Amino acid sequence: MILKLSAAAAVITTILTAFLVVRSGDEAVVKGASTVVTVWDDGGLTRVEAERAIVAAARQERITLYRSITSVESGITVRSLSVANQGDDRALPGVDEQYPDFGRSLHTRFRPAPNGISPGGMYVTGATEIRADRFVAVLRQQGLDVTAVPFGFAGQFWWTAGAAPLLPLLMAALLGMILGCVSSTVGARRQDAVRVANGMSRTDVAFRQCARVILLVLAYGVIGLAVSVLPLAIYNGLAQFARFAGTTAVGIGLAAVVGGAVVLVTSLLANRRSLLPALEGRLPFGRLTLFGLVAHGAAVGLVVAVLASAIAAGWSASENRRDSAEWDRGDDLYALSFRLSNTEGEKFVDVFAALGLRAIAEGRALVSTRPLGGPEDHGPDGGGALIVNDRYLAEQTIRDHTGKRVEGSNLRPDELTLLVPDDLRGVPELVSRYEEWIRFRAEADGRRSDDSRVPIHVIRTAGGQRVFNYSTRETTSSQLDPVVAVVPSSRPVLSSDWIVSGMTQGTVLFTDRTRLERDLRSSSLDSSAWIVSARDLAEVRLDGQEHDLRTTMSVALLAGIVAVLAAFVFAAASAEISRRGDFLRLVHGDSGLRTVLLPATLAVASAGAASGLALSSHLSVSPSTFSPCGVVLLADVLAVALFISVRSRRLRADTLKKS
């Protein structure tokens, strides 16, 4: 029974792992791609010269090269593929066929590259690694900064391991397989001893057990793959099913080999000694119990580690659900997505800065920038600050310490206003830091020293306010009790490089799309940037976080299955060890509580120690993690006690029947 459970758990884990690998790999690059080529910089070449160099190098090596551009359109993520060169390798999908996306979060389309787009970015090829390396070498000789990364099966696996808790999932599968195989093999030692006594060699007995496990895993794998057809048909219409089936087959084969090897080694070690103890039913349940205890603790620690990740993902998703109402009201805000190389970016900084400053001055842009520093730092470069303009206050509500809303129209246009939470101390030092920041920005633009003398006015705000910041790149779009710096509307404070940085990061948003399109055309920038809805960017991020949450929860569920299996193995071994003593206590009228109490206590100790190690090694553990982890430990001890109680009753009945 235990062997079947462990084999089933291993097969389920393998199928889910294959699903994650194929989905994540397909979202990273298109199927058939063997190498990802990234052009980081054009090396001073013009846009046309860089494009010609890339195409010429691809033709020289006769490789098929696709340009891959990911963008957001109407709330969905679109991967656009354009043919840079058609070579003699045919691994990549053809341009005339509809690409079968494996997942639901990405839509792949073939289309020509937009006119005037920078040649920098990601390309994919199905050529061999040698030809791809030669292609990259040719481009480097011409001054381009280019890298090539192989993306075969191993690349897909490690990519997925970085995107989802895949390694804990595989550890859970391995642990479950080893537990089931060891327990089953040791439990069958008496039958093996009988076979050896009847003339079968110990090696033949071991290989018999090994073949049994391999066939069992393979049979379950075939059944699992057949069962997965219907869910995949509903999920994606069986898109890339051959790729999924091949990945699953590799995983099932590895699981069968591991299971067979564990059984073979265990059987040879168990049967190398005298047959008499085995024939008399004296099995090494002490060592099996210790093994089960350690494995059980490790499995529960694995559950807790994955649970911590699931809670963190769930927290981010819940934060964004709370922000979704604000994004619904902000569907008329737009961000710019740039198509510039590094060289072109430096060339057009002043032009883009002028466009942004003009939009801010005319009230057509909303500034809402959260700096990248730590959240405990409320200075102008800290993550506990939020730098905005007066248009922001027209959209969002911030209340002062009396409960009154702070209106942008009530602020002096020549002052920088600091909205400081009422319980925050060190305001004079904070004001000094913002004064220094204003001077630094003035110097960055080459303005006169008089322009840097901007008065700062402090308004105390009520504590406990969650402020919406329109962020589309961070894990959440809100901050708790930030220091909000409202820049003056009549005096220049923000430097050109700061404005351009905000535009590239999506923290300078525009309200008039028609006017923005006209400004881009008049400045000859329409081929260097395109307009994206800020709400669409936020929806893509939320979908990604929901996707991560579902993935992490599925891993946590499978790790829980392994923990239950470990508890069952440990409980069964403990019941076998105390079988005779438990029967004697039953005869003398004892309730049998001692049979359950000691193993359950040991299980709690091992699981608690492993869980503590798992939480201490986790990078970010919030207080909200401890309660669910406590529930896991409580459920675990109850499961161990229940399994021991049920198993002991069956053994008592068996003993009474034999006596």
pLDDT tens string 403-415 = 999 998 889 999 9
The predicted-structure confidence for 437-483, as pLDDT tens digits, reads as follows 998 888 887 776 555 688 999 999 999 999 999 988 777 888 999 99
Give, for 643, the enclosing helix (H) or strand (E): helix 626-658
Report pLDDT for 496.
87
> Cα-Cα-Cα-Cα dihedral of 448, 449, 450, 454, to 10°?
120
User: What is the average pLDDT across 128-149?
Assistant: 90
pLDDT of residue 487: 93
* Mean pLDDT to the nearest integer, 58-68: 90
Helix axes 513-522, 349-361, angle to 10 degrees: 150
- Of all residues in the chain, the percent with pLDDT exceeding 70 is 76
Q: How confident is the model at residue 636 (pLDDT cuts 50, 70, 90)?
A: confident
CA-to-CA distance for 200 and 206, rounded, in angstroms?
10
Q: What is the pLDDT of residues 253-310, one digit of tens each?
A: 999 999 999 888 888 877 666 665 655 555 566 666 677 777 777 777 777 777 776 6
Cα separation, 386 vs 397, whole angstroms: 14
SS (H, E, C) 467-522: EECCCCCCCCCEEECCEEEECCCCCCCCCHHHHHHHHHHCCEEECCHHHHHHHHHH
Q: What is the rounded distance in angstroms from the CA atom of residue 25 to the CA atom of residue 153? A: 9
Residue 221 predicted with pLDDT over 90: yes
Q: Which helix (H) or strand (E) holds 531?
A: strand 529-533
Residue 197 vs residue 151, higher pLDDT = 151
| Most confident stretch, 88-97, 396-405, 573-582 | 396-405
Per-residue 3-state assignment (H helix, E strand, C coil) for 159-190: HHHHHCCHHHHHHHHHHHHHHHHHHHHHHCHH
Spatial separation of the C-alpha atoms in residues 168 and 156, rounded to whole Å: 17
pLDDT value at 240 more than 60: yes
Rounded-to-integer distance, Cα 442 and Cα 434, Å: 12
Angle between helices 153-163 and 2-28 (to 10 degrees): 100
Tokens found for residue 120: 């920098």
What angle, 0 to 180 degrees and rounded to 10, lies between the N-to-C axes of helices 534-577 and 593-617?
Answer: 150
Terminal Cα-to-Cα distance of the chain (whole angstroms)? 26
Q: Which residues on neighbouring strands pair with residue 387, listed in sequence order?
A: 369, 485
What is the residue whose two structure tokens read 């392994």?
562
Residue whose C-alpha is closest to residue 632's, from 613, 650, 611: 611
Q: How confident is the model at residue 436 (pLDDT cuts 50, 70, 90)?
A: very high
For the CA atoms of the chain, what is the radius of gyration? 32
Highest mean pLDDT among 174-188, 222-236, 500-514: 222-236
Ramachandran angles phi, psi of 100, nearest 5°: -85, 85
pLDDT value for 380: 93
Determine the average pLDDT of the residues in 322-346: 73
- pTM value? 0.72
Q: What is the pLDDT of residues 25-61, one digit of tens each?
A: 888 888 888 899 999 887 778 778 888 899 999 999 9
Better-predicted residue by pLDDT, 616 or 210: 210
Mean pLDDT of 346-363: 85
DSSP, residue by residue, 560-583: HHHHHHHHHHHHHHHHHHTHHHHH
CB 325 within 8 A of CB 468: no
pLDDT in the model for residue 116: 59
The number of beta carbons lying within 10 Å of the beta carbon of residue 83 is 15
Q: What is the pLDDT of residue 619?
A: 44
Q: Tens digits of per-residue pLDDT, 72-120? A: 676 677 888 888 888 887 778 877 778 899 988 788 988 877 665 668 8
44: left (phi over 0), alpha (psi -120 to 50) or beta: left
pLDDT over 90 at 432, yes or no: yes
Which stretch of DSSP H or E encloses residue 276? helix 276-279
pLDDT, averaged across the chain: 80
